[in-house]
Amino acid sequence: MTDNLSPIDTAKFVAARRACDYVASGMRVGLGTGSTAAWLVKSLGEMVREEGLKITGVPTSARTADLARAAGIEVVSLEEARWLDVTIDGADEFDPEMNLIKGGGGALLMEKIVATASDQMVVIADTTKEVAALGAFPLPVEVIPFGWQTTRGLIQETLSGLDVMGDRVVQRMAGDAPFVTDQGNFILDLHLGRIGNARQLALILNQIPGVVENGLFIDICDVVIIGHSDGRAEVRDINSGTVEESLVPMGEAANIFRDMAD
């Protein structure tokens, strides 16, 4: 059934499917954004429809809200839910301390708010997301459109005094127009190469006027689930210090693969 899936998509599916074990009836669940999180939403939707799972989902983007509703998951706002049992989301990079770069899909602001309003954040990823040090993936920073060039200049100036390899700051585009987030803001992608002190950088960036939030998630993630294309899912829990591996039965995925093809 997975014949049509690339190895990377199979790995994303495996991580997402394993993450469903962190969800039980009655829970309020933060739903991440991106291609890996889409597998999670599809999988949870299938459990709602086929197995009677009862959850409410708080999406981290308009895209995920649409996907969740289409999958049959009851969607509520964070204002309604107030606090969540778990948030499950993808990442662009994670390091050995389980600090993350997020925002490749432009949803970092809602993703950070939702994740920090949760008892637990579970990150789902394929093996390509694991890094020794954060920074090869350009760090997304959400900025207010008003005076964004000034904000970009201030960011660039700030970077020159910090332990980073590069300092190129590029406005994210969507075709010929600036990329605009769900909150109506712009994204600046910081091409840093390597971040020496991610904790310090995260704090300093948020002091710059015009910066709304940055894509560094420090001490927010509790569990990383790494999916492999052969069906293995590795679960690393930072709180218990445990690492577990299990095999995700791919046969159960038939309905989801059929849905994805629709």
> What is the smallest separation between the CB atom of 160 and ligand 5RP, expressed in angstroms?
27
Q: Residue 185 CB: number of other CB atoms within 10 A?
A: 23
Output helix, strand, coil percentages for the chain, rounded to the nearest 5. 35, 25, 40
> What is the smallest separation between the CB atom of 248 and ligand 5RP, expressed in angstroms?
17
List Cβ neighbours of 188 (8 Å cut-off, separation of 6 or more): 140, 141, 143, 148, 151, 152, 155, 169, 170, 171, 172
Footprint of ligand 5RP on 99-138 (CB under 6 A) = 102-108, 111
36 binds ligand 5RP (CB under 6 A): yes
| Active site residues per annotation | 111
Q: Which is nearer to ligand 5RP, 53 or 110 (CB)?
A: 110
30 binds ligand 5RP (CB under 6 A): no
Q: Which region among 31-39, 43-51, 114-122, 198-206 touches ligand 5RP (by CB under 6 A)?
A: 31-39
Whose CA is closest to 21, among 102, 86, 100? 86
> What is the smallest separation between the CB atom of 33 and ligand 5RP, expressed in angstroms?
4
30, 45, 90, 227: which one contacts ligand 5RP (CB under 6 A)? Answer: 90
2, 5, 35, 259: which one contacts ligand 5RP (CB under 6 A)? Answer: 35
- Residue 121 and residue 117: Cα distance in Å, rounded? 9
The sign of the torsion formed by the CA atoms of 130, 134, 135, 140 equals positive
Name beta bridge partners: 140: 189
Rule CB under 6 A: which residues touch ligand 5RP?
32-37, 89-92, 102-108, 111
